[in-house]
Structure 1
Amino acid sequence: MENHQYSVGLDIGTTKIVAIVGRRNAHGKIEVLGVGKAKSLGVHKGIVNNISQTIQSIKSAVAEAQSSSGVPIHKVTVGIAGKHIRSLQHSDYIMRENPDQYITEDDIEVLKEQVKKLVMLPGEEIIHVLPQEYKVDSEGEIQEPIGMHGKRLEANFHVVVGQMGSIRNIARCVHEAGLEMEALTLEPLASSEAVLTKEEKEAGVAIVDIGGGTTDIAIFKDNIIRHTCVIPYGGGIITDDIKEGCSIIEKHAEQLKVKFGSAVPDLEKDSTFVTIPGLHGRPDKEISLKTLAQIVNARVEEILEMVNTELKAYGAFEQKKKLIAGIVLTGGGSNLRNLRQLANYTTGFDSRIGFANEYVVNDKNQLLKGPEFATAIGLLMESLKIRDRKNGTEQPEEKVEIIETVPENTMAAEQPEFRTEEQPEIQTAKRKPNRLTIGEKIMASVKKFFEEVE
């Protein structure tokens, strides 16, 4: 089997790096053939801060994906996030030389290229130019102008911008890991591909992807991207709060969050405790689950308030811009117990957890079940779309099914667990808990950059 038949999504996250290999089968469905996962050691809040460690993590994830799929990996579609990402609205137009000829994809590309020449702040670069609505001569609110006649073609654009240095660092890591970067995609856009339905995008929906270092937001209305942003806080800062608030090591704090963490303290009993083994012969430590929930709640509420601020910035509380489909929570942080209830209360919108396996059939081992794989699957879907466009076989917009064929023993022990001798035990005791205080298509320029370097 030739490599060009396959696509690869590479999610370079703050806590993990995931590579997923897939292809379209004879029925136009997507088969996931291999998954590789490695701990992310050189990324902080979505930004690469250690080149060599990031390269090593990418190599490890890609090697595992190659091993499980039996396919050599050369090209990857990569996700980007980070606190440096910002977005803006821009309108632009072109005057067509021959209005008697109908508008083609080439005309739209000319208009996009014109927008890409916008002057940015020093050190910034345009990542995406996303058309929203078009206007042909005097006719407005056109979503698909191809095939129409007109002299003046105008459009409103959602422009996503990032720091040039951060973009170059990601490109360098991918390049030095022996890979070619096929495309760079904003992570919340990739996640939305994997977990949102067309109906939700039409009705109005916000996807909130809570990762390890950042919380990424994308808002859709009338099937058009309306707003994107990156909040520089994610699940990692909740772990830090637990570590400081409970005076325990980071490994135990992460395991406490995953196994027992809750976003709503009122749903936890005062009398339920978890025992954490002491270090090197020190006495064990008892932590009330209600106290744990209070620590988690304080930080999650702060993140959700930031989400609320972004919803208000878009205008989600106005009648015309109302998000009828509410909020879809995804990413590893959305696994937190009772998060959906807290999101409903804090934002006032109905929410659901977005699982990427809505697109996965025959996922026998449930490897891709968790929302933490939403971005990687979305990047794979984006990569397949790029291949389809190049091959002239673009698939119609419909719900995509992914057939999971990863070997059964792959990633069998990925779930975080306490070692047997350190396994905390929940104990019930009628004691009053102590109160604790509590105090993330520029490919041409990227390729050009490397050509100049080389």
Structure 2
Amino acid sequence: MEEDNIAVGLDIGTTKIVAMIGRKNEYGKVEILGIGRTKSLGVHRGVVNNITQTIQSVQQAIQQAEANSGIEVQGVTVGIAGQHIRSLQHSDYITRNDVEEVIEDEDIDNLCSQVHKLVMLPGEEIIHVLPQEYKVDGQSEIMEPRGMSGGRLEANFHVVVGQISSIRNIGRCVKNSGLELNGMTLEPLASANSVLSQEEKEAGVALIDIGGGTTDLAIFKDGIIRHTAVIPLGGNAITEDIKEGCSIIEKQAELLKVKFGSAWPGENKENEIVSIPGLRGRDPKEISLKNLSKVIHYRAVEIIDQVYLEIKNYGHEEQKKKLIAGIVITGGGAQLKHLKQLVEYVTGMDTRVGFPNEYLAGETDKEIASPLYATAVGLVMDGLERKVFEKEERELAEEEHLGVNAEQPEETAADHNSEGKENSHEEPSIPEQPKQPARPSRNVVEKWFDKLKEFLDNAE
């Protein structure tokens, strides 16, 4: 039985599907209880193109995780990625009726809801509405408007958009695997949560998550996400180039890339050669490691160039937007030898490889603390945060409910004869909207998520 303080992250990638079960220990670190990993069938460049095969892969990964942990999985937090994801900047405002009243969560929800009404291209839907900074009556650069008073509340938003069909197909795969959909998160955001420190997000950093089918980019500055992009090239493109360039099968190409591959051709001498077994009695094939690294180098440079173009589009060269913490690379592709040096050479920015070990408990297996599992760890963290948020909501509702009950006997005694039955019937619905502490509101995202769940329920 899945406990209240346990969350499950499901990373549906192009090359692998990972199910990870985790909980927070007494030190606030994430303890991984079980992990399941299977080959991803039916996903191309982050988009589901064969639901039946994807369901089978998801079920296998979940079964492995359950067997490793002894915990029965009921609900998951799933990641959204794929080449259909795009982002845009948008500014919007609301006019408040009472200028003297302080700005509350409700005002921010109204402003975010307005952004959700933006007209998108046919077949697209807004996934995330992420406020950047606010303006109150023309006063700019406000990070937290709650508690201030004013008539006009404005904000700049980073809006993430995706194809409705692709998002719904992921939801269907989860639902048809016999699982409950607890939440959806953009994969670059999940990876960022697991490998970036708050100091890096404040200073300005670009996270590059190199997956099998896509490379995801998330840029942070002043602790806020400023830009996201998905480039439809990843580690599989490098494997494909090796396969074509060396005339070998895909399995051998992947093995060559992982064992002997390098993104820097100068590292290999001309006489370094590796022998590949021939197919069905054919002679073995000899491959020069220098030529192998040249093939990898050209494709790696293409991927980095496209990412760097996005960083320039964000405005990295402006003094105010400078990314002082440089670049962090993560994902399976980040394990490629000398990729860090190549990224530094192409971009001229400080670079490090991002491991999710900072947020993991000390005794975690080294293999799990690999860049390969950065997204899955981030999804577990998001799921745990969501459970804490829901628990707080429940407690607030119960407190208000108990407060109402404590006052109720006096009223009931006074009006007992006339409307006792009516009062007892309406009582549970009194605490409709419990007051929340000042914190980033998730109501709009939850409303969108509820709409998706409702669609999936009706589709059956």
Q: TM-score, normalised by structure 1?
A: 0.88
Larger RCO of the pair (alpha carbons < 8 Å, separation 6+): 1
Paired residues of 1:388 and 1:395 also in contact (CA < 8 A): no
Give the distance between the partners of 2:9 and 2:105, measured in 1 at CA.
26
Give the counterpart letter for 2:10 in structure 1.
L
Gaps of 5+ in 1: 398-440
Alpha-carbon shift at residue 383 of structure 1 (Å): 1.0
Paired residues of 2:2 and 2:73 also in contact (CA < 8 A): no
Give the counterpart letter for 1:219 in structure 2.
I
Gaps of 5+ in 2: 394-435, 440-444
Structure-2 change in CA distance of 1:319 and 1:273 (3 Å): same
* Counterpart position of 2:180: 180
Give the distance between the partners of 1:224 and 1:389, measured in 2 at CA.
20
Alpha-carbon shift at residue 230 of structure 1 (Å): 0.2
Give the distance between the partners of 2:234 and 2:2, measured in 1 at CA.
39
Q: Which moved more, 1:239-248 or 1:65-74?
A: 65-74
Q: Aligned pair 1:260/2:260, yes or no?
A: yes
* Counterpart position of 2:343: 343
Q: Aligned pair 1:283/2:289, yes or no?
A: no
Give the distance between the partners of 1:363 and 1:371, measured in 2 at CA.
17
* Counterpart position of 2:118: 118
Give the counterpart letter for 1:307 in structure 2.
V
Alpha-carbon shift at residue 74 of structure 1 (Å): 1.4
Q: Which moved more, 1:148-157 or 1:82-91?
A: 148-157
Alpha-carbon shift at residue 449 of structure 1 (Å): 1.1
* Counterpart position of 2:433: none
* Counterpart position of 1:446: 452
Q: Which moved more, 1:308-317 or 1:364-373?
A: 364-373
* The structure with more radius of gyration: 2
Residue pairs, 1:229-308, within 5 angstroms: 229-308=229-308
Alpha-carbon shift at residue 364 of structure 1 (Å): 5.0
Structure-2 change in CA distance of 1:286 and 1:396 (3 Å): farther
Alpha-carbon shift at residue 2 of structure 1 (Å): 5.2
Residue pairs, 1:383-398, within 5 angstroms: 383-392=383-392
CA deviations on 1:53-98 (whole Å, 9 max, x unpaired) are: 0000111111111121222211111111111111001111122233
Give the distance between the partners of 1:109 and 1:363, measured in 2 at CA.
41
Give the counterpart letter for 1:76 in structure 2.
V
* Counterpart position of 1:133: 133
Paired residues of 2:29 and 2:361 also in contact (CA < 8 A): no
Alpha-carbon shift at residue 280 of structure 1 (Å): 1.3
Give the distance between the partners of 2:117 and 2:4, measured in 1 at CA.
32
Q: Which moved more, 1:314-323 or 1:201-210?
A: 314-323
Residue pairs, 1:180-259, within 5 angstroms: 180-259=180-259
SS of equivalent residue, structure 2 residue 165:
helix
Give the distance between the partners of 1:285 and 1:237, measured in 2 at CA.
22
* Counterpart position of 1:311: 311
Give the counterpart letter for 1:445 in structure 2.
K
Paired residues of 2:5 and 2:384 also in contact (CA < 8 A): no
Residue pairs, 1:8-157, within 5 angstroms: 8-157=8-157
Alpha-carbon shift at residue 106 of structure 1 (Å): 2.4
Give the counterpart letter for 2:459 in structure 1.
V
Give the counterpart letter for 1:357 in structure 2.
N
Paired residues of 1:28 and 1:395 also in contact (CA < 8 A): no
Structure-2 change in CA distance of 1:136 and 1:302 (3 Å): same
CA deviations on 1:301-320 (whole Å, 9 max, x unpaired) are: 11011011101111112222
Give the distance between the partners of 1:396 and 1:10, measured in 2 at CA.
30
Paired residues of 1:3 and 1:72 also in contact (CA < 8 A): no
SS of equivalent residue, structure 1 residue 102:
coil
Paired residues of 1:182 and 1:443 also in contact (CA < 8 A): no
Give the distance between the partners of 1:364 and 1:107, measured in 2 at CA.
43
Paired residues of 1:9 and 1:21 also in contact (CA < 8 A): yes
The CA RMSD measured in Å over matched residues stands at 1.8
Give the counterpart letter for 1:354 in structure 2.
G
Alpha-carbon shift at residue 151 of structure 1 (Å): 2.0
Alpha-carbon shift at residue 346 of structure 1 (Å): 0.5
Give the distance between the partners of 1:450 and 1:129, measured in 2 at CA.
22
Give the counterpart letter for 1:72 in structure 2.
E
* Counterpart position of 1:406: none
Name the count of aligned residue pairs. 411
SS of equivalent residue, structure 2 residue 4:
helix
Give the distance between the partners of 1:71 and 1:101, measured in 2 at CA.
49
Give the distance between the partners of 1:7 and 1:95, measured in 2 at CA.
40
Alpha-carbon shift at residue 396 of structure 1 (Å): 13
Give the distance between the partners of 2:320 and 2:2, measured in 1 at CA.
49
Alpha-carbon shift at residue 181 of structure 1 (Å): 1.4
SS of equivalent residue, structure 1 residue 361:
coil
Give the distance between the partners of 2:20 and 2:438, measured in 1 at CA.
22
Give the counterpart letter for 2:96 in structure 1.
R
Give the distance between the partners of 2:9 and 2:100, measured in 1 at CA.
42
Alpha-carbon shift at residue 36 of structure 1 (Å): 1.0
SS of equivalent residue, structure 1 residue 377:
helix
Alpha-carbon shift at residue 30 of structure 1 (Å): 2.3
* Counterpart position of 2:409: none
* Counterpart position of 2:334: 334
Identity over the aligned pairs, expressed in percent?
60
Give the distance between the partners of 1:155 and 1:40, measured in 2 at CA.
40
Q: Which has the higher helix share?
A: 2
SS of equivalent residue, structure 1 residue 127:
strand
* Counterpart position of 1:433: none
Q: TM-score, normalised by structure 2?
A: 0.86
Give the distance between the partners of 1:41 and 1:56, measured in 2 at CA.
8
CA deviations on 1:221-241 (whole Å, 9 max, x unpaired) are: 111111100000000010000
Paired residues of 2:134 and 2:144 also in contact (CA < 8 A): yes
SS of equivalent residue, structure 1 residue 383:
helix
